[in-house]
Amino acid sequence: MLNWIWLGLILSSLVFAAYTGRMTEVTQGLFEGTKDAVQLVIGLVGGMMFMLGLVRIAFDGGLRDWIARGLAPVLRRLFPEVPADHPAMGAIVMNMASNMLGLGNAATPFGLKAMSELARLNRHSAVASDSMVLFLAINTSAITILPPSGTIMVRLAAGSTAADAIWVPTLIATTCSTIAAVSMFFLLRRLPPFRPPPVDAAAGHGDLDGPQEDEFPAPDESAGASAGPRAPMEGWRIALVAGIAGVLALLFLRDAWQLANDRGLLEGLLDVIQSWAFPSLIAGLLLIGVAGRVSVYDSMIAGAKEGLDVAVRIDPYHVAIIAAVKMLRVSGLLEMVIGAVAPLTAAVGVPAEVLPMALLRPLSGSGAFGVMSETLQANGPDSFVGMVASTLQGSTETTFYVLAVYFGAARISQGRHTLPACLAGDFAGFCGAVMACHLFFG
């Protein structure tokens, strides 16, 4: 799908430029786009390395284990047909914990493992079970509690003075997305078109017919998954962590009180949350590492190396997409389309400039990332359009890609109501992102 989208962007730009006499501008736009893409990635590398280093510190300190333990009781209620001690439940818990921390690469192996184990429990070998549908609905709309570091670094590279301001709106948008996806799952699963077919006794149990263990990559549990119970913290560690946390909490309350008196309760609260959120996160991740007896510098370096690898991997995608969108913009075609739909989208508070990204996001994460970067360059990272585009990037997942990979791995050909549930999550994430941006920036 992305192949045809990218080809369409290039060819439509050339045809429209030929019609309007802007062939020279399109040529210049091509080279400007490639230059902007490379400069953007260069600016992205340092911040990406630093943020993934901090997350690795918290992982090694046991943050993912804490989240997993908190999720386990909830997931046992959501997946009653999966035994609590079954390997599928453990993989689901670790997948959700990794997704909540915004680490899709770490979540994918656990997700594939979960689908493998759910396939063994499934009594309809080619039809998705309720557990599979719900798991993918949550997976593609996962609440992300940590800030989207990649998007924040792109915003910094684009000259933003409030790069981390999208964190809370993104959290609101992902919450809306997850609630909608799960709600749609429960609404649709009993309807006749989505009911599973009767079990064929001759087909045997799913445990015998499902994919074999060695067909799936083993999850890497080296980062953040503890080998066993941790020993109690020493007294000095407790005093250090509690002391720093206490001082920061008192200073936060001081600032909140001052801003509430100066600007009113709601505006002051929003301002203090925006200004304190990211620094508090940095302090919290470091303190988790201290509490978990982590060698914070060594973990930081290990995570930074991962950040460098990520930045290098996304560079070709940036160049391809940003150059294509830049050509579309300078040809005049994108401006014409935006002008045509702007009256309709403005009526519901949606900037027409973000629609290309909203449509591409379910198809390709890297493609949407490139479109977002170009949108920030064209409209400004701190403009309302830039804020909405940045929030949209972290509000949903690449739905069609995830479904293709996970169902393909589990040999599922009938997804039942998985796609409607996931798309409901995507739409709710879009609406939540727009509403949150109006609340904070509108």
Please give the pLDDT value at position 206.
Answer: 45
Residue 219's pLDDT band (cuts 50, 70, 90) = very low
Share of the chain above pLDDT 90, in %: 17
Q: What is the mean pLDDT of residues 20-39?
A: 85
pTM: 0.69
Q: Binning pLDDT at 50, 70 and 90, where does residue 14 land? A: very high
Res. 212: pLDDT tops 50: no
The better pLDDT of the pair 277, 373 is held by 373
The per-residue pLDDT for 213 is 38
Poorest-confidence range of 116-125, 135-144, 315-324?
A: 315-324
Task: For residue range 278-315, list pLDDT tens digits in order.
Answer: 788 789 889 989 988 888 999 889 888 877 776 676 67
- pLDDT for position 310: 65
Residue 123 has pLDDT above 90, yes or no: no
- Find the length of the chain: 442
Q: Each residue of 164-205: pLDDT tens digit?
A: 888 889 999 999 999 999 999 999 988 888 887 776 544 444
> Which pLDDT score, from 0 to 100, does residue 203 have?
43
pLDDT band at 227 (very low <50, low <70, confident <90, very high): very low
What pLDDT sits at residue 181? 94
pLDDT at 106: 62
Q: Give the model's pLDDT for residue 223.
A: 40
221 pLDDT more than 50: no
pLDDT greater at residue 192 or residue 364: 192
Q: What confidence score (pLDDT) does residue 216 get?
A: 40
- pLDDT tens-digit readout, 65-113: 787 788 788 888 889 888 877 888 888 887 887 777 766 556 777 788 8
Residue 398 pLDDT > 90, yes or no? no
Tell me the percentage of the chain whose pLDDT exceeds 70. 87
Predicted pLDDT at 133? 93
Lowest mean pLDDT among 26-30, 46-50, 333-337: 46-50
Band (151; pLDDT cuts 50, 70, 90): confident
pLDDT computed for residue 131 by the predictor: 92
| pLDDT for residue 218 is more than 80 | no
Q: Is the pLDDT of residue 41 over 80?
A: no
- Residue pair 303/52 in contact (Cβ under 8 Å)? The answer is yes
